[in-house]
Amino acid sequence: MREDLTRRERQILDVLYRLEEASASEIVEAMPDELANATVRTQLRFLEEKGAVTYRREGKKFLYRAIKPKKNAAKTALRSVLNVFFGGSIEDAVATHLADPKSKLSSDQLERLRTLIDEHSKAKEDR
């Protein structure tokens, strides 16, 4: 799947991840802002050309779904954000997030991060 998705295409994919499979009309209803059915169908065609969605026909209806699992798409999106905004540095991204006063991590979340860092360090030592 190509990574050059527009904001609108990402919104449509988000709806498809939530609904798993949907018609253009169902996507229109689930979108955060009002769009014409024809606009969504056009965007779905672009997403299909980009390898992001596929469809199946059920009677007269076309049902669309995302090709790439959400977890894989999230990894790709995160990698892109890291590269564009943080020069590929996860450390800079986390530091920026933690420095933001609006970031309020619970003690459980902080402990989870510590555990992940410890596991990563141990795995690196074992290599």
Supply the pLDDT for residue 72: 80
Q: Supply the pLDDT for residue 64.
A: 97
pTM higher than 0.75: no
| Residue-level pLDDT at 3 | 60
Helices (H), ranges, the chain: 7-19, 24-30, 37-49, 70-86, 90-99, 107-126
Q: Among 98, 4, 93, 95, which Cα is nearest to 52's?
A: 4
**44, 60 contact by CB (below 8 A):** no
In whole angstroms, give the CA distance from residue 69 to residue 13: 11
Whole-number pLDDT of residue 76 = 77
CA dihedral of 94, 118, 124, 74, whole degrees rounded to 10 = -40
- What's the pLDDT tens digit per position in 74-100? 787 788 889 889 999 999 999 999 899
Which pLDDT tens digits describe the chain residue by residue (127 residues)?
556 788 899 899 999 999 999 999 999 999 988 899 999 999 999 999 999 999 999 999 999 999 988 888 778 778 888 988 999 999 999 999 989 988 888 999 999 999 999 999 888 788 7
